[in-house]
């Protein structure tokens, strides 16, 4: 890559967007991974994509549509995830399929070339503008501030929501707040990463950090580092080899996860626990 590109405004915007988006997405990813919210996050991300396409079709700001759809999805999914009478995966899967159907319906209804829809689908970090950067900066600042200010409460909710609620921590409020925050982060990162890829950037850095430590504070730090590293390396490779930026960033984040999982100390612990639980008498029959 020609280093002279760094002098251009669009490249500087892309680097800054990678920093802000990488931090925001990876911090949210820690909640998603530790609280087993992966399927919920996928549904919210696709709802945001459908909302952005709806805004494009109706002629208003796509990010407004993405934000509204993601908030509605979070408001519907949250109570469903709390209900104990049935497995929440079924209704969440239905919502996911509905939002995906709506997304492609809106894409089909768009007149003329589908250029803007394809940008929302795959993302392009090289086209972010000052307004996109401002939105990313605000969302990233909110996420970082909440993690720092309410770290102990968040830690308690992640450990056990019912216990946290019993000792007076507003666990349900924190849980629903995390869902709404997930929707906000997805909306802010939609242009740079894309509707079909954004959740991978949320999940992969956090999953990689989860492989390397049991310490929640360190997990947040490692996840942020992996998120920024994914965006910057992906951006560099996309410019070097003329590849789609969003897809390249996600692939890099997946490679980081594979490396982290390969060297994870938790693999040895899990193997030891399995051997202990098996016992010498059962081992004879293996």
Q: How far apart are CA 119 and CA 193, in angstroms?
A: 9
pLDDT classification of 283: cutoffs 50, 70, 90: very low
Q: What is the mean pLDDT of residues 196-203?
A: 83
Q: How many CA atoms lie within 13 A of 14 on its CB side?
A: 25
What share of the chain has pLDDT > 90, as a percent? Answer: 24
Is pLDDT at 200 greater than 80 in this prediction? yes
Neighbouring residues of 191: CB distance < 8 A, sequence distance ≥ 6 = 63, 119, 120, 123, 124, 127, 128, 132
| Global pTM value | 0.84
- Averaged confidence pLDDT in the chain: 82
Tell me what pLDDT residue 282 has. Answer: 47
Evaluate whether 187 touches 116 at the Cβ level (below 8 Å). no
Is pLDDT at 286 greater than 70 in this prediction? no
Neighbouring residues of 164: CB distance < 8 A, sequence distance ≥ 6 = 153, 156, 157, 171, 174
Q: How many CA atoms lie within 13 A of 245 on its CB side?
A: 24
Evaluate whether 126 touches 6 at the Cβ level (below 8 Å). no
Q: What is the mean pLDDT of residues 112-122?
A: 73
Q: How far apart are CA 138 and CA 185, in angstroms?
A: 10
pLDDT classification of 141: cutoffs 50, 70, 90: very high
Tell me what pLDDT residue 82 has. Answer: 63
Tell me what pLDDT residue 138 has. Answer: 93
């Amino acid at each position: 890559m020609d280093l002279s590109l760094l002098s251009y405004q669009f490249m500087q915007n892309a680097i800054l967007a990678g920093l802000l988006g990488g931090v925001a997405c990876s911090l949210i990813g820690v909640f998603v991974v530790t609280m087993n919210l992966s399927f919920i996050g996928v549904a919210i991300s696709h709802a945001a994509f459908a909302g952005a396409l709806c805004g494009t079709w109706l002629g208003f700001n796509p990010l407004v549509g993405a934000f509204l759809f993601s908030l509605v999805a979070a408001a519907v999914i949250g109570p469903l995830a709390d209900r104990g009478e049935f497995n929440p995966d079924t209704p969440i899967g239905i919502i996911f399929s509905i939002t995906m159907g709506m997304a492609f319906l809106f894409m089909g209804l768009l007149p003329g070339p589908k250029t803007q829809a394809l940008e929302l689908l795959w993302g392009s970090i090289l086209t972010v503008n000052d307004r996109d950067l401002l939105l990313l900066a605000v969302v990233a600042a909110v996420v970082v501030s909440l993690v720092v200010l309410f770290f102990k409460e968040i830690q308690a909710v992640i450990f056990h929501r019912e216990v946290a609620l019993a000792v007076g921590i507003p666990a349900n409020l924190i849980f629903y707040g995390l869902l709404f925050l997930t929707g906000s982060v997805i909306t802010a990162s939609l242009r740079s990463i894309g509707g079909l890829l954004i959740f991978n950037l949320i999940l992969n850095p956090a999953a990689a950090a989860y492989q390397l430590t049991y310490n929640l504070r360190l997990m947040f730090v490692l996840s942020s580092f992996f998120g920024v590293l994914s965006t910057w390396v992906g951006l560099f490779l996309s410019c070097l080899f003329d590849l789609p930026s969003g897809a390249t960033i996600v692939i890099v984040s997946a490679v980081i996860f594979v490396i982290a999982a390969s060297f994870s100390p938790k693999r040895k612990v899990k193997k030891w626990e399995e051997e202990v639980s098996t016992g010498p008498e059962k081992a004879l029959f293996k």
